[in-house]
Structure 1
Amino acid sequence: MNITICFDKLDPAPWVQGLQHAFPQAIVTAWVPGAPQADHAIVWAPPQKFIDEQPGLQTLFNIGAGVDALLQLKLPTHLKVVRLDDAGMSVQMAEYVCHAVIRHFREFDGYDSDTQSGKWSYRKPRSRAAFAVGVMGLGVLGERVAKALQVFEFPVNGFSRSPKDLPGIRCFSGAQGLSEFLAATRVLVNLMPLTPETENILNHATLSQLQKGGYLINVARGKHLVEEDLITLIDGGHLAGATLDVFRTEPLPAGHPFWQHPQITVTPHTSARTLREESIAQIVGKIQALQRGEAINGVVDHQRGY
Structure 2
Amino acid sequence: MTNVLFAAETKLWPVYAPLLRAAFAETGLGGITLETDLPPEEVDYIVYSPGSTLQDFTPYTRCKAVLNLWAGVENVTRNATLTQPLARMVDPGMEQAMVEWVTGHTLRHHIGMDRYIHGLGGAWSRIIPPLAPDRPVTVLGLGALGSACARALAGLHFPVRGWSRSPKDIPGVTCFSGEDGLKAALEGAQIVSLLLPSTPGTRHIMTDETFALLAKGAVLLNSGRGALVDDEALLRALDSGQVSHATLDVFHVEPLPEEHPFWSHPGVTVTPHISSETRPPTASRVIAENVRRGEAEEPFLHLVDRAAGY
Using structure 1 for the length normalisation, give the TM-score.
0.92
Gaps of 5+ in 2: 25-29
Q: 2:69 aligns with which of 63, 67, 87?
A: 63
SS at match of 2:205: coil
225-234 or 160-169, which deviates more: 160-169
Q: How does 1:124-273 map to 2 (within 5 A)?
A: 124-273=128-277
1:43 aligns with 2:44: no
Q: 1:102 aligns with which of 99, 103, 107?
A: 107
Aligned-pair distance for 1:64?
1.2
Letter in 1 for 2:287: I
- Local SS of the residue matching 1:12: helix
Identify which of 88, 97, 100 aligns with 2:93.
Answer: 88
> Identity percentage over the alignment?
33
Q: Specify the SS of the correspondent of 2:236.
A: helix
Q: For residue 105 of structure 2, what is the amino acid of its counterpart?
A: A
CA distance in 2, matches of 1:298, 1:270: 23
Q: What corresponds to 2:36 in structure 1?
A: 30
Partner of 2:118: 113
In structure 1, how many angstroms separate the alpha carbons of the residues matched to 2:161 and 2:233? 23
CA deviations on 1:226-245 (whole Å, 9 max, x unpaired) are: 11110110101111111100
Q: In the alignment, is the contact (CA less than 8 A) between 2:164 and 2:178 conserved in 1?
A: yes
* Contact 1:83–1:299 (CA under 8 A) maintained in structure 2: yes
Secondary structure of the 1:286 match is helix
Structure 1, unpaired ranges of 5+:
none
1 CA distance for matches of 2:188 and 2:126? Answer: 29
- Aligned-partner residue type, residue 72 of structure 2: G
> Higher mean Cα deviation, 80-89 or 296-305?
80-89
Query: SS in structure 2 opposite 1:172?
Result: strand
Q: Distance in 2 between matches of 1:31 and 1:233?
A: 50
Q: Distance in 2 between matches of 1:144 and 1:6?
A: 30
The whole-number CA distance in structure 2 between the counterparts of 1:192 and 1:246 is: 12
Counterpart amino acid of 1:226? D
Structure-2 separation of matches of 1:102 and 1:39: 46
What secondary structure sits across from 1:70 in the alignment? coil
After superposition, give the CA deviation of every residue in 1:17-57 in whole Å (9 maximum; x if it has no partner).
Answer: 3222333521111248x766411011111345342443432
Shift of 1:112: 1.3
Q: 1:20 matched to which residue of 2?
A: 21
Measured after TM superposition, the shift of residue 82 of structure 1 is 0.4
Give CA-to-partner distance per residue, 1:121-168, whole Å, 9 cap, x none: 322223534421101111111111011111221110010111122112
SS, match of residue 215 in structure 1: strand
Amino acid at match of 2:14: A
User: What is the Cα deviation at residue 184 of structure 1?
Assistant: 4.1
Deviations 1:50-77 (A, max 9, x none): 4244343221111111111111222343
- Report the counterpart of residue 309 of structure 2 in structure 1: 305
CA contact (8 A) 1:55 1:76 kept: no
Q: Say what the alpha-carbon RMSD is for the aligned residues.
A: 2.0
Deviation of 1:13 (Å): 2.2
| Structure 1 residue 5 corresponds to structure 2 residue 10 | no
- Asked if 2 retains the 8 angstrom alpha-carbon contact of 1:243 and 1:264, the reply is yes
Q: Is the 8 A contact 2:56 2:82 kept in 1?
A: no
| Matched-pair contact (CA < 8 Å) for 1:86–1:141 | no
After superposition, what is the alpha-carbon deviation per residue over 1:153-212, rounded to whole angstroms, capped at 9, x for unaligned? Answer: 111001011112211211111111111111142211111111111111122221221121
Which residue is 1:73 aligned to? Answer: 79
Structure 1 residues 304 and 90: alpha-carbon distance in aligned structure 2, compared to 1, 3 A threshold: same
Of 247-256 and 45-54, more deviation after overlay is shown by 45-54
Tell me, in whole angstroms, the C-alpha distance in 1 between the residues paired with 2:183 and 2:11.
40
Paired with 1:18 and 1:95, the residues of 2 have a C-alpha distance of 24
